Amino acid sequence: MMQLQDILFSQGFGTRRICCGLVQQGLVAVGSAHNVCCDPLEAFPAEGLEFWVQGVHWTYHARAYLLLHKPAGYECSQKPGAHPSVYTLLPGPLRQRGGGAAAGVQAVGRLDHDTTGLLLLSDDGKFIHRLTSPRHHVPKVYEVHVRHPLQETAVRRLLTGVVLDDDPEPVRAASCRIVSDLHLQMTLTEGKYHQVKRMLAAVGNRVESLHRSALGPLSLDDGPAEGRWRWLTSEEVDSLTRKVPGQAS
């Protein structure tokens, strides 16, 4: 059981003082019956609790696991430079969950400002590490549109390994498939800086547009629409963190 003001605080609705005020002003309703609660100290079973804050529906989540369909023109940074932050596409409470210096959800890895597609966000540090550590080889599928027609010889080089300018060890694509003359589907299991663009440059081509269509078992086939987000289901979270036989712990 948790006090209502603590539930609101944990979900990012402000300081405990602000959350207490929201409740006392009658701006919070709880449960399927929409019962307005004016006592900030009243306790409820937290997990899965439905509540409304100023008429907006929320469900309690101990941890946040989100899937965002990132559009072009957004930076995966809390302090962006020339472009708006991808975090502005999320509601305020998701950006303030937990309070403190590291408040809110964080991107699970990054996509360049001009790259679109599947981006995960979470406030669970272990989950983020699990998916971003190169030891775990989480596959990421990219739709790569290039300037020059694709050649099988270039694809073979991407599969056998190319050397990038800052790393003497060759990097390889886990798989490559030519979809059309100017469209390559590439799967990577690591995430070096500008890796897809630099790998294509190493074989004499140039990336014109880049879209991440899948990460692990998740894809954008069923949405959400570009610029929109949704919660991951518990089954999806489990599928992302389940250890594959032979995979590092």
Residues annotated as part of the active site: 112
CATH architecture of residue range(s) 2-59? Roll (3.10)
Domain boundaries 65-134+228-241, CATH class: alpha beta
Q: What is the pLDDT of residue 243?
A: 61
Q: What is the pLDDT of residue 133?
A: 87
Average pLDDT, the chain: 92
* Band of pLDDT at residue 248, cut at 50, 70 and 90: very low
* Band of pLDDT at residue 32, cut at 50, 70 and 90: confident
Calculated CA dihedral for residues 185, 188, 192, 197, nearest 10 degrees: -10
Q: What is d(CA 121, CA 113) in angstroms, rounded to the nearest whole number?
A: 16
Residue 82 neighbours by CB under 8 Å, 6+ apart: 75, 113
Domain extents in the chain: 2-59, 65-134+228-241, 139-215
Residue with tokens 């694709």: 150
| 17: its two tokens | 């003082």
State percent of the chain over pLDDT 90: 83
pLDDT digits 0-9 by tens, 62-103: 999 999 999 999 999 988 888 999 999 999 999 998 766 667
Q: What is the pLDDT of residue 102?
A: 67
**Is the fold of 65-134+228-241 the same as that of 139-215?**
yes
Radius of gyration of the chain (CA): 21
What CATH number matches the domain at 139-215, 3.30.70.1560, 3.40.630.10, 3.30.930.10, 3.40.50.970?
Answer: 3.30.70.1560
Residue scoring higher pLDDT (103 or 217): 217
pLDDT digits 0-9 by tens, 133-183: 888 889 999 999 999 999 999 999 999 999 988 778 899 999 999 999 999
Q: What is the pLDDT of residue 228?
A: 97
Residue 220 neighbours by CB under 8 Å, 6+ apart: 69, 117, 118, 213, 214
Task: Give pTM, 2 decimals.
Answer: 0.91
Residue scoring higher pLDDT (216 or 134): 216
Check whether 245 has a pLDDT greater than 60.
no
